[in-house]
């Protein structure tokens, strides 16, 4: 009986991790993937269409201000700066004249790529505030993760209790 109870106490963490992963996938499908496509676009028109999809999602989801941090704020978690940067890039693409030279278009695409992508230890990745996929539920997710981790520890203790006579 203790083994079943121990396993059941571990399940909330698995469920939480599954939900968290689904939220990451949804953000990637609706925003981050389009930001990557905009950065990879070969024409201003294609970049503009992909960036418009991402910015529309950001605005619909109210991801335009705030911080993703829970305990203390750092500049890389500023949603307002991130959104304003993306909005400014989109506005620049929209305002680009149809008769712009190839050099102007190329410079715009290079500037956009530098805005949308970062080069890190693991290679190139889309610039997004850490934890944006769960915003505005960051505090709730942190508390849930702590609670589920405590249940996991309790579950391990209950599961192993019979074997080791704690």
Q: Indicate the domain borders of the chain.
A: 2-164
d(CA 11, CA 109): 47
Please give the average per-residue pLDDT across 128-135, as a whole number: 96
d(CA 76, CA 118): 12
Give residue 166's pLDDT band: very low, low, confident or very high (50, 70, 90): low
So what's the pLDDT on residue 102? 95
Q: Residue 165 pLDDT more than 90?
A: no
Q: What's the pLDDT tens digit per position in 75-131?
A: 999 999 999 999 999 999 999 998 999 999 999 999 999 999 999 888 999 999 999
Q: What's the pLDDT tens digit per position in 46-75?
A: 999 999 999 999 999 999 999 999 998 999
pTM over 0.85: yes
């Amino acid at each position: 009986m203790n083994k079943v109870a121990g396993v059941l106490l571990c399940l909330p963490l698995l469920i939480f991790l599954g939900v968290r992963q689904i939220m990451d996938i949804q953000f990637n499908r609706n925003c981050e993937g389009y930001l990557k496509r905009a950065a990879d676009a070969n024409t201003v028109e294609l970049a503009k269409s992909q960036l418009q999809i991402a910015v529309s999602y950001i605005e619909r989801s109210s991801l335009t201000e705030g911080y993703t941090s829970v305990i203390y704020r750092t500049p890389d978690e500023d949603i307002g700066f991130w959104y304003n940067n993306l909005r400014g890039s989109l506005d620049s693409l929209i305002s680009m004249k149809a008769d712009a030279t190839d050099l102007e278009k190329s410079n715009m695409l290079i500037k956009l790529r530098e805005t949308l992508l970062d080069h890190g230890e693991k290679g190139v990745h889309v610039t997004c505030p850490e934890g944006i996929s769960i915003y505005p539920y960051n505090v709730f997710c942190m508390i849930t993760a702590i609670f589920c981790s405590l249940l996991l520890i309790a579950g391990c203790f209950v599961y192993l209790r019979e074997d080791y006579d704690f």
